[in-house]
Each structure stands twice: as C-alpha cells, then as structure tokens.
Structure 1
C-alpha cells in the first residue's frame, strides 16, 4: 500500500480541520455545556471572516465562543498557545534577572478502578500539603526558590485507566548542577511519598517525582494542552501548557482527552469517558502561578481563558462577511473549518465561489 506523505502545511491544515470536527463531537457528548454553542451561535446578524496579514490565517468574528480549555478543541488551541507565549515570556524575564529554572513532574499510582476525580484530587491534595508548612519553607530557602507555575496533563490508558500528572516549573536564584538536581529530586520524592502514604496512595520512588533541568523552550511543554507534539522539538514550556492537546496516537493504548472524541466518532467508545473528563475538569485552572511570581517577573495581570479565546490578531482585517442563510448552510454541512481554510488563501473571488458550493 502506498503511503501518502503530507508536507508541514498540509499537516497543519488537517490538524485545524480535526479540531473543528472534534468540537462537533464534543457538542453531541456534552450538549448542555457552552462548547455546544461555540462558533455556532451568532452574536450579531452577519458573521465576520477576518484574516491576519502576518500569519495568513483566517478566523471568525461575531460568534459566541465558549473559552473552555478543557471542553473545546478549538478554543483550547488558542488558549494554550497564548498561555505558552506568556510562560515563555516569564522564562525569558527570569533569565534576564539571573534566575534559572527546572521542571518537576508529579504522578502517582492508579488503576482502572480509580475515577479521574479521585486521581486528580489525591494529587492536588498531596501537592498542597507538600508546599505548606515548615518543611517546604526550609526547602525553598535552601534551594532559593522564587516561585513556581504548575500545569496538568491527562491521558486515559486501556490498561490502567486515567493517568493524571502535573508539571511544575520552579524558578531559583541558584545555578544548579546535575548532582544538585538529583538531590532536589530525592528530597521532593521522599516528602511527596510520605504524604501520599498517609493518604493511602503510592508513588514510585524513581518516577513518582521526576526533576529535569530547564531549557530555553521549557514553556512549550508545560503550557500546551491537547495539540500534536513532535517529541524531538517539544520544550518544557509546551509541556506545561499543551497537556490536553498532546496527541498519543503513537501509543494505541493511551489517549488524550480530545482523542477520546475520535473514539466516539468511530463508534469505539460511548462517550462516557469524555463526559467524566469534562465534568471533572470543568472550571479548573490550566496554569497555577504561585503568589507573587508574576509580579516578580514583571508580567501583566493574568486574564481568563474566556478572554484569551476572544483575543484577535492585531493586524487582522475584515476579509468577508457571511449572511444568516449562508451560515446556516455552513453549520448544516459542518464546513466551518473549511470556510476558514478557503479564506486563508486570501483570494476573495475564490472564497465566494467556494461558498456557493456549500448547499
């Protein structure tokens, strides 16, 4: 069988269209949530199609957006990318101030009998206890910790169920050697496992807490939730922000939350897993900054996911407007993503011809 290879632009186009398809699937699984109206319901008579001169990409205006990083693949793509940029700015500012950084990944043992809520809550409680009290104060003073920012990552495995873990970037005024990072891992792991043991939980002594040194791209890993990941070019900033976005297609027994939508679409799942995920993560923060860290690094006040989802490119101009009748046809034929791809080409005449093909 001949394998067709796609270039980078083709892959990007497919990824964008898949996000629109997944959003429609999410709508059918959780119809009572805001994602069911996202980029479907008009907020004014005409739907605007705007096009960025810089990025040569089109997007909609005049539509309701849900702004859910957990429920909506379309909004999640925008939100996580903007969080990644913000986190990278934090890392750049820290570097200018002479700070260094390292990443800690936290996980715990789980089975298929554990609900996502149980795993998430157990890990959350353990970290809150670890960062409270005299022990952590002493740890922070010893290693001159200025603050941390933490993001979540979730997958579902056919053998062990929900896998929920967190990634934290710690900022420090010390320049840490490999041996010192190993000491940090030992200290954190011992305390973390002691806390879990009292809770009736368990973490592996080696992989329960993983500490790695930071690099210039750490924000790419921590901030990206749900997007396709090229392992050879995935930095620590994407690790923290792109958690729901990372795609696990190479591992057929593990699925990201948005890949669960693909299983439902192909009738390999009844939607129960995605509903559990959506209910559990609703209202949760994608990133949590320790008190005072944003001020220390000179960042602007944090804005909400909903606000991030509606931010438009500064150079975007009105490319076209879509009537009520046209929009109804686009919705009916599930062509919202295709319309944007056509507009991104930048040819108004070709775009209008494309609209006439949607019946």
Structure 2
C-alpha cells in the first residue's frame, strides 16, 4: 500500500505553517508555484517553438528564468515543452489558464499502464518525478500500452494522488517533484506508439533543458563575480573567475550554435539531432559542474551558509544537472561516433 497526501486542487502548493524562519521546502514549493503561474500567464501567444526560426530566443528565455530561479525554470521548461510536443504531435492545444508538465521519466519499477475501454483510454499506476505535482493543471505522461509505449494528455485532478514523502530533495525542493499515483485517470493519446521519443522535437527539447542548466550556472557564478570585485586583485579568486568565464562562454556558444542548427533542420532530415543533443548536454553539464567547483573553491563556505539565494541556486543546479546521465550518455555518444548502436538511453532520459 502506498501512503499518499490528501488531494488538493491543482495549482495549490502544499501547506506551509509559516512558523519557521528562513528556508523551508514548503515555502520553496509555494513560492515556485506562484512564480510559475505568473510566468505562464504572461507568456505571449507566439512564444517560439523549437525550429521556428527563433529557437535562440526560446533558449535565451529559459536561461533568463533559470538565472533568477532554477526551480521555476524547471516548471516553465516543462510547460513550454508540453506545448511544443502537442503542436508537433497534433494534440490538443494548451488552453487559457492551463499549466502543463511533461512526466515521462521511466526508471525501473511499476510505471503507468494505459488501457482502452468503451469510454476511451485510462492510465493507472505510479509515475515518478512529476515536477509541479501540485501546480500543474495538466500533464503529458508516458505509459505502457498495447503496441508499445505511448504518450497521453491527462488532467491533474481526480484520480491523481501525490505520494507523501517521495520527494525529499533539498536541491530542487521548489520543483515539487514527488511520485504520483494514477487511478483510472481519463487520458487522451498524443501521437502513436513510441511517437514521443522518435520525433525530432525530443532532441530539441533536451537542449532546452540544457539552456536551463546554463542559466543556473550563471546564477551560481554571480557570487564569484561579486567576490572578485570585492577582493580586488587577489590572483586566486581572479583565476577562478577566469576559468568560470571560459566555461560559461563555451556553453553559451554551443547553445547558440545548436539553436541555429535546429532552425536550419527542424525536422532532422540530416539525422544529426541525437548527436547534437548528446554533445550539447554534455558540454553544458560539464560547464555547470566546473562552475560549481570553481565557485565553491574560490568563495568557501560563506555564501553557501549565509546567502540563501546562492545556496539554493547551487543546491538546485547540483540536482538538476543529474538529468544528464553522465557516462551512460557519453557511451552512447561514443557509440554513435564509432558506428555502433549501443543501448538506447532515451526512454528514461528526462525526469519530467
């Protein structure tokens, strides 16, 4: 038997008593939910889709949000990715006032199963890593069905229950990413079997996540820049700052090049989308890891202990970049370069 929370209306964050000063996970979830709702409400109707000729603008927007708050960017990226998926696969468009997530992680375990009956499709089971569990009104979820894995649109309402205690992270606490149990939830299929991972936009969306990582790294680097300005010509601090600038400059350049390549070949007629995604995500993840190391070594414990914004940005980024599968993704990249298919890791790549 699974322990679950009492069902709250979609859009409501878990309660916070407000009795404790400073950071609490409940406060982080509540603040993130509010900012997420505000940003989604203000999105222009013509916000650029991947491959629209304005992909760099899309990535820049995600980077900007992440530089302000990594957890908010995590939810905004999911909403924008859902809108792009629905457009690409011919699903229902996002409606006014709706906030969408993409809950497609498939780690080992129970997962979701879809069944088709006289009244249409339903999904049941356990879906892990559901970011925005209390603030998303709708979601795209992957589920096993006759004919293979499929993507479904669901309302986050009756029949969905977040599992109490299944998201214990301090980093990315505000993203509100527990497991959710689904009990015969009505579902609308979006695309055909394996359509979610086989479409070119799957790779483009993965680079959008990297744009958020990049923004988080810029937020973490701000503490080092402030320290360098305050310490004048301290050579060690300046050396760390120079190293961070090189990493961020390279990551930004790779993202801009990727955006241009996506706009040039949005339907992946050249077959290079997977290779591009693996390279870009690896470059940006490596840059983020280096930024965390350099900033920590240069500034010591002080900003981590006394600057809440920096502490949260560093903790959030350290968790967020673990959506990259490190050596597993590098092995796939090497296999592609060597002409070997290897193991396809796309199925569980994004913990959305």
> Above 0.5 in TM-score?
no
Q: Higher RCO, 1 or 2 (CA under 8 Å, sep at least 6)?
A: 1
* Range of TM-score over shorter length: under 0.3
Question: Which entry has the higher C-alpha Rg, 1 or 2?
Answer: 1
Normalized per residue, the structure richer in helix is 2
> TM-score under structure 2 normalisation?
0.27
